[in-house]
Amino acid sequence: MNRDEGAEVVLRLDRISKAFGALKANDGVSLTLRRGEVVALLGENGAGKTTLMNILFGHYVADEGGVEVFGQPLPPGNPRAALAAGVGMVHQHFTLAGNLTVLENIRLGTEGLWSRGQGGARAKVERLSRDFGLAVHPAAKVGRLTVGERQRVEILKALYRDARILILDEPTAVLTPQESEALFATLRKATAMGLSVIFISHKLHEVMAIADRCVVLRHGRVVGEVDTHATDKGALAALMVGGELSLPRAEARAAGTVLMRLMGVTTPDRGAAPGLKGISLELRAGQITGLAGVSGNGQAALAEIVGGLAQPAEGRIALRGKDVRRWSPGTALAEGVARIPEDRHHQGSIADFDLTENAVLEGYRSRFSRRGWMNWRAAREFAETIIADYDVRCPGPSTRIRLLSGGNMQKLILGRAMAPGPDIILANQPVRGLDVGAIAYVQSQLIAARDRGAAVLLISEDLDEIMGLSDVIHVMSQGRLSPGFARGTMTAAELGLWMAGQKFEGADAA
């Protein structure tokens, strides 16, 4: 680790405050960064980390407070000024144009719009690529790159612009453990060359591995600042949550009958997203089957198959021992398959519909209409029941769902899915983006369903969550499915090898 006592301060955030309507995202946050340091910015979802970095980079303007880079005040709300001052940001959702090449994405905005453009870009990119260990093909179209490759391009974008301060927003969310190691190697090279890094994460073991110092945010305020070697994961977690971390853990259970079976299912690739490659999977009653894997390895295809949104090109699906003939979301729902979608905004709800309308999206034909006429009274009562049973905080069933927080929206979707008493539940990233309270609630509901005898398929990017809740763990990589590993038989590192594809048959050493 490169830290010099008394190394110059390269970045100073001074009492930054920012409110969005009634929500105070940042409340008097101050932060300093010294040359050659890696500072981790920690906090649970909604703590204000990304907002703070967006203010630094100029995507937002702070209501109060200021930013100084290398001693000079930074004009707010101006990404161009931030870039010129040497601040580079690797966004959580990559800011790349898929129709352009790697080189074009890097050059975008670096030359005057009214100029003819200059040469030498390719040479510089190749040099940076070598120096920092970021292998890319400059002429490749970004739309065809893997997630790991795209992230390397994002980092090169910043380095190309001579960034002296690198901000990385949840960079390892989309990487395998091995790719994360490669990223850390790059960051160590960067700090050795005098760059300084701010690293947003909520993954404590990574933070402990790479950061010199940790700044913890909670509800928009700084609640702690510690040197990494003077603390441990437990202390950090306590700072993040403000108390004991008490996420539900599932206890071991005996497996029941096979409720759903996929046999040799294959689906076609779709662009960069791989299809399923002849996978076979069993979902048993009374079990949580966890699916680990970095996103983009076929989880979306599997969720579509289980949820009824796609038909297998090859292979069969069987429900309770009987082969399924025509598979569709309607059939799935009728057969007792509940789906919690990955994207509650785009798939799970209709933003301008009210809670009543959203509550009956799935059951309107079968349960809330008769011969084509809607029974809005029954629909409203149903919505009110869900709101009460699942503690959905809202003004009432006529509220437009876009006004609810993410956690409350997810609770409504959960309630809607569970209401018909399903015995097969597909939970796709069910707690992504939620605060700890909502996470605990959703997870306990899934465990309760399992205890009632349902078969739960849990797809999650969070390996900790999978390992904590699942009775059986499978790993997906490039559309292939690993065998099932019983609870407690695998370590994270071993699962990481499967996630990187290295343990699958025919894989060459990566």
Strand partners, 26: 18
> Residue 371: which residues within 8 A CB-CB, separation 6 or more?
none
241 near other proteins (CB under 8 A): no
- Interface of this chain with other proteins, residues 294 to 333, rule: CB under 8 A: 307-309, 328-330, 332-333
Greatest CA span in the chain, whole angstroms?
Answer: 77
Smallest separation (angstroms) from other proteins to the CB of 63: 11
CB atoms within 10 A of CB 1: 13
- State the binding string over 447-486 for other proteins (x if CB under 8 A, else -): ----------------------------------------
Question: Per-residue x/- marks for other proteins, 104-143, CB under 8 A?
Answer: xx-xxxxxxxxxxx--------------------------
Tell me which of 17, 347, 385, 478 binds other proteins, using CB under 8 A. 347
171/307 with CB nearer other proteins:
307
403 binding other proteins? (CB under 8 A): yes
What mask of x and - would describe binding to other proteins in positions 66 to 95, judged by CB under 8 A? ----------xxxxx-xxx----x-x-x-x
**Which residue is it, tokens 């398929």?**
457
Residue among 438, 509, 454, 498 nearest 473 (CA): 498
Helix or strand run (H / E) with residue 18: strand 9-20
Q: Which is nearer to other proteins, 368 or 441 (CB)?
A: 368
By CB under 8 A, the residues from 6 to 45 that bind other proteins are 21
CA 502 to chain centre: 23
Query: Measured from the CB atom, is 321 or 372 closer to other proteins?
Result: 372
Cβ neighbours, 10 Å, residue 88:
23
Given a contact cutoff of 8 angstroms between Cβ atoms, the answer to whether 39 and 212 are in contact is yes
- Those residues with Cβ within 8 angstroms of residue 130's Cβ, 6 or more apart along the chain or in another chain: none
Beta carbon of residue 400, minimum distance to other proteins (angstroms, whole number): 9
Examine residue 353 and tell whether it contacts other proteins (CB under 8 A).
yes
Q: Which stretch binds other proteins (CB under 8 A): 40-48, 243-251, 256-264, 350-358?
A: 350-358
Q: Which H or E run contains 79?
A: helix 79-84
Residues in the interface with other proteins (CB under 8 A) total 68
Element spanning 12, H or E? strand 9-20
Per-residue interface string for the shown chain with other proteins, residues 361-380, x marking contact by CB under 8 A: xx-xx---x--xxx-x----
Order of strands across the sheet that contains 64-69: 23-34, 9-20, 64-69, 72-73
Q: How far apart are CA 165 and CA 86, in angstroms?
A: 6
Give the interface with other proteins as residue ranges (CB under 8 A): 21, 50, 54, 57, 59-61, 76-80, 82-84, 89, 91, 93, 95-100, 104-105, 107-117, 157, 307-309, 328-330, 332-333, 339, 341, 346-353, 357, 361-362, 364-365, 369, 372-374, 376, 402-403
